[in-house]
Chain A
């Protein structure tokens, strides 16, 4: 069965960096487009970043563009989110999500990893 397991969250100071990972199993990882979605405490869902199956053209929310990068290692079935210049407003649960056959919706989500940006 499909599994997405995020890791790498924690507490980081403003201006710091963190790298999140999402280990995938149960599907052909190299064929699937993937996303990161976040949710600040008590707030709604916010789409963060997209990477196509082949690691090609990537897209980012305006709120993280230039600070976050998304990458993947298809040989390890793992998705990454490198977060730099972190701000308090980046504090959230970060989910990785699998897009269904490039049709624009997310059919599987991980359980999330919490990032707290605080001094």
Chain B
């Protein structure tokens, strides 16, 4: 089955840039989606199709995808960005959706 690997944690100072990698075999050939989840809340879509943002999501959130790594980038990090972030793809070989292992972003 397809596996998506993320680092357990990323720490960043306010105003700096956080980069969250999501590793998967040839993930560059897939559409990658990203979700933000704060404690006790349901996930919220923040980036879809690699780099597009739903309405209401700040431009500070962006994505890229190439080779074996997709990346969610949060620019000018704010305290409110502290959350868990998950990447997600659809694996056509199994018709299963797959989530990454999740990354906790801590704002120092």
Contacts and interface: CB of A to CB of B under 8 A. Distances in A.
Contacts, number: 59
Interface of A: 35, 37, 44-47, 50, 59, 61-62, 95, 100, 103-107, 109-112
Chain B: number of interface residues, binned into ranges: 20 to 34
Task: Describe B's contact surface by its main secondary structure.
Answer: strand
Contacts of A111: 41-42
B80 interface: no
Contacts of A95: 42-43
B97 A35 contact: yes
B7 to A, nearest CB: 13
A110 B54 contact: no
B86 A104 contact: no
Interface string B79-92: 00000101011100
A44 B31 contact: no
B42 A44 contact: no
A95 B35 CA distance: 14
Contacts of B86: 44-45
A107 B54 contact: yes
Nearest to A108: B45
A94 to B, nearest CB: 11
Nearest to B89: A104
A105 B99 contact: no
Contact of A104 (B31, B41, B54): B31
B1 interface: yes
Contacts of B31: 103-105
Interface string B24-52: 00000001010101000111110011000
A76 B95 CA distance: 27
Contacts of A110: 42
B49 to A, nearest CB: 7
A45 B1 contact: no
Contacts of B1: 62
Contact of B99 (A44, A59, A62): A44
B45 A105 contact: yes
